[in-house]
Chain A
């Protein structure tokens, strides 16, 4: 009983019921940040946003920074859930639609990291005081229902530090409405982020990669957010597999508008110790794989009507500057630049734009194993003083896939916070 007494429940499912009764749109899921919020709540995370420029945390999440009025620096921020009761009141005379819940106690919780939430204290306001410390934890109950479980006091086992997550919390402006986009290497990292962002921008996304479970997860995520996605297994280093990818896409959607050659691998060894196999495998995926995909899509691009298409290839700042132990990777990525420029010249006649994105130091699974010393050193060299997030790259990928970049081809867009300018 004490446990029940000590819990504060703010029920999202209850909100849903009330929304229906009120005839509201579901403002949570339909707001710019709402879909992400619901998803995070279901994952047990109290996810707000933060403006990385102004360093202001927001709970509830905001899509635009109140200070700089920009959505450009908004990232997700997981709140620890610790907070303080600011005020509360027990409602005995409820508004229409709430009769069967009364009496209920509405309380305002101020979160330690900043920001507030309104919820219900259950079973009531007895013995509750302003200033009481509480802990908030979203929990899924009965399948789809999410509650904020707010417990008085703080317990050490949930001493979670605020943690930044790189996610785009802002829905798109339909810049890619109705376009069919193939994204290779879309199972994780930058490719996954591009797939999610393209879908939010209205594209039908082919989520391609070698690992079925990864691409299925991404496709499911897109569908749950109301987007359109098809997972197709593909090893870009394998010509047959690439042809299958193009064929299956055309079977399903009858056209292809955008090809994002994001798939890539990184295997490190000093040149003196680099084996032929290692060299070949990196070149085969990063350079030959990009070539395979471009070659496979040209028959379609040259015959589709109306003409038009976008190819986005991925190079790296490692191509420009080299990197100890990354001769194969750097060479493959420099090769992608030359390949892109040639393709840009060849395909201009078909109104296909071919451009490169050159990411710098981005937080992905590929960079996760970097020794922390090297990580800190690299970040110290970045004029913008932070690691890049897949979201930063995905935004540029949207630009290059949209009509906004129609007069660009053969160019390289560097997305590195100024690291290798």
Chain B
């Protein structure tokens, strides 16, 4: 039995002081419901992807489903930091495959900006090791900066190459009305921006954001019945790595991403050259460069030179909806947002950022600073 994505929805990402978390969840839900043509009663279960530590409302699965009118169907939360909603999709896949449910709503939602930036940095820092690392004021920018430093020292990667990733993603973000930032930037602007954690500049870092995205996932029979263009989940890879840098064997790669992608490619019976379009977890520019290598789009150490191949028309167009960099990164929503981007591409509905004839797409959603990674492969 194949598993299809039959409905997608995406809220505007950014500062969303105008909505509660329930209202924020409602926006992509309604879009996805209309997109699928299903009725609420036909959704058997809901899985929320979110990182609850940022939000005032605790145990949001209950309040959200009540607001969406999805009682009494079951709901629960999956949490894997920034890869919470990719994990939710994996769970939904297993539930449908096991025939426990036929149609599942996967909804990633996150309100982060209820907290000031310094507080978010602190909360996020605790996703790292609170015993040996966080007490030294480590932040996520700091972790990725140490990866960047290691990558630069080992492979000669340059700050300009990091900046080019930001330039590309902001370019595509400028065309995405749901993105937090819709302005193009230049390499100079990136390099002139202030240092957050050396060598990463402000524009090397994605922004904390509020946002939500939804997917309606169904079994093969329903998918074919209700949709002319179901997008199939062809491969799911998930892997972990030591969560502490003190035990991470290598700092210039995310081994979890390597393992997860290999599992996904194997299940989908493809290799990286078959991917037509990809959404990768560019929480920092170095993360996208490491992803090029970890996913096998280029050789190890050549990520810095690959950026030009990640534009539309290049080898593998990557983050052509703006990525986390320009869209913003509401951690729990990002995994679903990436899938929405790929589904639009495979359906041919991506507008001016459409990759012509895209048949196979990939999402790469990293949790924490690499302790979790989920890679999904989709096809038309």
Contacts and interface: CB of A to CB of B under 8 A. Distances in A.
Interface string B116-142: 111101101100001111111111011
Contacts of B199: 89
Given A31-B131, A86-B150, A130-B153, A99 B136 contact: no
B263 interface: no
A90 B146 CA distance: 9
For the complex of A and B, list the 4 residue pairs with the smallest distance between their C-beta atoms, beginning with the closest.
A89-B145, A95-B121, A95-B122, A98-B137
A interface: dominant SS = mixed
B137 A106 contact: yes
Given A91-B197, A125-B198, A118 B132 contact: yes
A278 interface: no
A118 B246 contact: yes
B196 A92 contact: yes
A89 B194 contact: no
Interface in A169-183: none
Interface of A: 10, 15, 18-19, 22, 24, 27-28, 31, 60, 86-99, 101-102, 104-106, 108, 115-120, 125, 129-131
Contact of A27 (B118, B130, B141): B130
A305 B195 CA distance: 71
A87 B196 contact: no
Interface string B289-304: 0000000000000000
A118 B136 contact: yes
A110 B25 CA distance: 45
Given A94-B139, A95-B137, A96-B119, A89 B245 contact: no
Contacts of A131: 153
A292 to B, nearest CB: 48
Contacts of A130: 149-150, 153
A96 B246 contact: no
22 contacts: A18-B137, A27-B131, A60-B131, A86-B150, A87-B147, A87-B149, A88-B146, A89-B149, A90-B198, A91-B139, A91-B196, A93-B121, A93-B141, A93-B196, A94-B118, A95-B119, A97-B122, A99-B118, A116-B245, A116-B247, A118-B246, A129-B153
A93 B201 CA distance: 10
A27 B129 CA distance: 10
A129 B141 CA distance: 19
B241 interface: no
A89 B153 CA distance: 13
A117 B246 contact: yes
B251 interface: yes
Contacts of A22: 122, 134-135
Nearest to A128: B149
Contacts of B132: 60, 117-118
Contacts of A60: 131-132, 246
A326 to B, nearest CB: 48
B87 to A, nearest CB: 25
B120 to A, nearest CB: 8
A115 B194 CA distance: 34
Contacts of A27: 130-131, 135
A218 B290 CA distance: 53
Given A88-B146, A117-B132, A117-B246, A96 B122 contact: yes
Given A94-B139, A118-B132, A89 B121 contact: no
B133 A118 contact: yes
Contact of A24 (B124, B135, B147, B198): B135
A125 B135 CA distance: 19
Contacts of A15: 135-136
Given A18-B135, A118-B245, A89 B118 contact: no
Contact of A95 (B118, B145, B153, B194): B118
Interface string B132-169: 11111111011001111110010000000000000000
Contacts of B149: 87-89, 130
B197 A93 contact: yes
Contacts of A104: 136-137
B131 A92 contact: no
Contacts of B137: 18, 91, 94-95, 97-98, 101-102, 104, 106
Residue in B116, B135, B139 with the greatest tally of chain A CB atoms within 10 Å: B135
B44 to A, nearest CB: 39
Residue in A86, A93, A130 with the greatest tally of chain B CB atoms within 10 Å: A93
Nearest to A116: B246
A12 to B, nearest CB: 9
Nearest to B140: A95
A392 to B, nearest CB: 28
Contacts of B146: 87-89, 106, 108
Contacts of A116: 245-247
Nearest to B148: A89
B147 to A, nearest CB: 7
